[in-house]
Amino acid sequence: MDLKEFKFPEVSKVDMAFPTFGTIPELLEEAVKRKFYNGNTEYNKLFSAIFFSGGKVKFKKGLDKEFVERAWAYCRSLMGSYTPKHEEKEAVCAMIMSEILEPELEK
């Protein structure tokens, strides 16, 4: 699956404040294939750092701005949602982060 071609859902301001997104099955399946489910990748670690402590992310250069905005908005909303299991959120978000973020937070 090419995430750049994936149609991420629209994320409203309400979705950002009170996220209720569930896990999209196709994204979870791809995250499992890419070994992000119960993974120990640098992006699983990045997810945990952001989830538990916050921090300033660094976006990769040269990516389509619309793709980055849609993927990051969905990722942030999914991260804050109580609907999916934590392992599913981590896997999907780590996969998205691997496409759009540098693997370390800004210092």
pLDDT tens, 61-85?
999 999 999 999 999 999 999 989 9
Query: Which range marks the domain in which residue 83 is found?
Result: 3-100
What pLDDT score does 107 carry?
A: 76
**What count of other Cβ atoms lies within 10 Å of the Cβ of residue 48?**
12
Distance, in Å, from the CA atom of 69 to the CA atom of 57, rounded to the nearest integer, reads 13
- How many domains does one find in the chain? 1
Instruction: Please report whether residue 56 resides in a domain.
Output: yes
Q: Is residue 70 part of a domain?
A: yes
Q: Whole-model pTM?
A: 0.93
Written as one letter, the residue type at 41 is: T
In a domain, 106, yes or no: no
Q: Which residues of 61-82 are buried (b: 16+ CB within 10 A; e: fewer)?
A: eeeeeebbebbbbbbbbbbbbe
Q: Which helix (H) or strand (E) holds 97?
A: helix 86-100
Please report whether residue 105 resides in a domain. Answer: no
Q: Quick check: is 18 in a domain? A: yes
Question: Do residues 27 and 92 touch, judged by C-beta distance below 8 A?
Answer: yes
16 — pLDDT class (breaks 50, 70, 90): confident
- Does 107 map to a domain? no
